Amino acid sequence: MEKKTFQAVPVQNPDEIDVERNSNMWNCCLFGSSDRHCLRFITITSLSFFIIGFSAAMLAFADLPCEEQHTFVGLITLILGFWLKSNVH
């Protein structure tokens, strides 16, 4: 069995640690501070639901010929492809 050794890590400057800790926080005048990942997720999810809802409504309620429906089916496929990523490498 191979024995693993640990190496000493140099201590960082406290100012650098604060920058790393706060790099995910965004400050704005309306909400104060918020998490960058949370805002990004909410924005992408809202936009996805809007596009899927709009496309589904256009397919269901608009009297479009078959040749013009491919745009809305393509938008739905685009959003589903974004969320349901393939595991193939």
Which domain range does residue 45 map to?
37-60+68-83
pLDDT tens digit string along 2-22? 777 767 666 666 655 555 555
What's at 12, amino acid-wise?
Answer: Q
Residue 15 lies in a domain: no
Which alpha helices (DSSP H) does the chain contain, by range? 14-21, 36-61, 70-83
pLDDT tens digit string along 23-78? 676 666 666 777 777 888 889 999 999 999 999 999 998 888 888 888 999 999 99
Distance CA 31, CA 42 (A): 14
Residue 32 lies in a domain: no
Residue 6 lies in a domain: no
Domain count, the chain: 1
